Amino acid sequence: MNNKEQLELAHWVVSEAIKKGADQAAVDISNSRQIDVEFRDRKMQTLNEATSRSLSLTVYAKNRFSNHSTNDIRKEALTPFIEEAIGMTAYLGEDIHRTLPDPKYYEGRSSIDLDRFDSSYGDVVSDERIRIAREVEEAALAAEGKIISVTSGYSDSRSESVKVHSNGFEGQSSSTYFAAGAEATVADGESGRPSDYDWSVVLHKKDLPSLEKMGREAVRRAMAKVGQAKMESGTYDMIIENRSATRLVGAMFQCLQGRALQQKRSYLEGKIGEKIAS
């Protein structure tokens, strides 16, 4: 089912929900495909393909709100699904603040193409996926170091989604990603087994870095840990590697989410206008 067909179905679901008693309704439909390949010790360990499709219906009825989802998007199955969703909403408590956004916020939206979809995705075949995973592993095994094991992998995915609101919003998106890399474990004395990885994820296949470089970098990072020892407790200046920085940013982002603030689970709750850091 392409985005055009998904949009038509989403409009139909919204229309049915309004007919059956919803004051407002929002529908999200998505489908995705993902393929994973993994090698270890020059043997293929994983070759998986997974496809998924889902529909989410948000109902606003008589100041009540509920959300429902299903993987069966046939119209004959969606009809009772919509009826039951609206019926169950009536049992919930009122929340006068739960509504769709004011349509004025839909106006003036940018139509810029974010270039998140690689049109060549359909040209990638299984043999190429296997070749990439195998070449990354071979590059790692050829690197200098006391290598104990190497696990390499390749993954790609394509996803498409649409969103329709009963008060005028309509949107769609398509995206792809391609990922490859390796994890290496090396020997450090009699018992040390440091490991590290190098992995890249890109939106367009042509942007994947050198397979040889990724394999060798995984081993280099693991070898850099050889000889590491515990440090004395104390206060130290710390350098954060760029690939770890997102964990710190993520920790700060979580406390800014509306849910965390509303449920008093954020240390920033009630701090508007106050200085919270140097």
Q: What pLDDT is recorded for position 43?
A: 95
Q: What is the mean pLDDT of the chain?
A: 94
* Tens digits of residue pLDDT in 228-239: 988 899 999 988
Query: Could you read off the pLDDT of 12-69 as tens digits, one per residue?
Result: 999 999 999 999 999 999 999 999 999 998 999 999 999 999 999 999 999 999 999 9
The pLDDT of residue 256: 86
Phi then psi for 210, rounded to 5 degrees?
-55, 130
Helix 3-19 × helix 75-89 angle, to 10°:
40
Q: Is residue 177 part of a domain?
A: yes
- Using the predicted structure, report yes or no on whether residue 277 has a pLDDT greater than 90: no
Q: What is the CATH number of the domain that holds 59?
A: 3.30.2290.10
In the three-class reduction of DSSP (H, G, I as helix; E, B as strand; rest coil), residue 214 is classed as helix
- In sign, the C-alpha dihedral spanning 232, 234, 237, 240 is positive
With 90 as the cut, is the pLDDT of residue 125 above it? yes
Q: Is residue 271 part of a domain?
A: no
At residue 6 the predicted structure's pLDDT band, cuts being 50, 70 and 90, is very high
pLDDT at 197: 96
Question: What pLDDT, on a 0 to 100 scale, did the predictor assign at position 250?
Answer: 85
Residue 109 pLDDT: 87
Query: Quick one: which of 141, 63, 48 has its CA closest to 96?
Result: 63
What are 106-123's pLDDT values in tens digits? 998 888 999 999 999 999
Q: Is 214 a member of any domain?
A: yes
- In-domain check, residue 233: no
Torsion angles phi and psi, residue 107, rounded to 5: -75, 145
Number of domain units in the chain: 1
pLDDT for residue 142 is more than 90: yes
Place 253 in a pLDDT band, splitting at 50, 70 and 90.
confident
Indicate whether 202 belongs to any domain.
yes
Torsion of CA 266, 269, 274, 275, to 10 degrees: 0
pLDDT-derived band at 154 (thresholds 50, 70, 90) equals: very high
- State both tokens at 135: 């070449």
pLDDT for the residue numbered 2:
78
**Using 50, 70 and 90 to split pLDDT, how confident is the model at 252?**
confident
Per-residue pLDDT for 1 more than 80?
no
Q: What is the pLDDT of residue 163?
A: 97
User: Looking at the predicted structure, is the pLDDT value of residue 246 above 90?
Assistant: no
pLDDT confidence of residue 150: 97
- The predicted-structure confidence for 163-174, as pLDDT tens digits, reads as follows 999 999 999 999
Q: Is the pLDDT of residue 4 over 80?
A: yes
* Distance, CA of 165 to CA of 59 (rounded, Å): 10
Angle at 96 between CA 20 and CA 22, to 5 degrees: 5
Assigned domain for 275 exists: no
Is residue 19 one of the residues assigned to a domain?
Answer: yes
28/7 Cα distance (integer angstroms): 9
> Nearest-CA neighbor of 86 among 14, 30, 28, 29?
14
pLDDT for 258 equals 85
Tell whether 81 is covered by a domain: yes
d(CA 49, CA 72): 20
**Tokens for 49?**
């393909």
Look up the domain containing 122 and give its range.
3-227+246-262
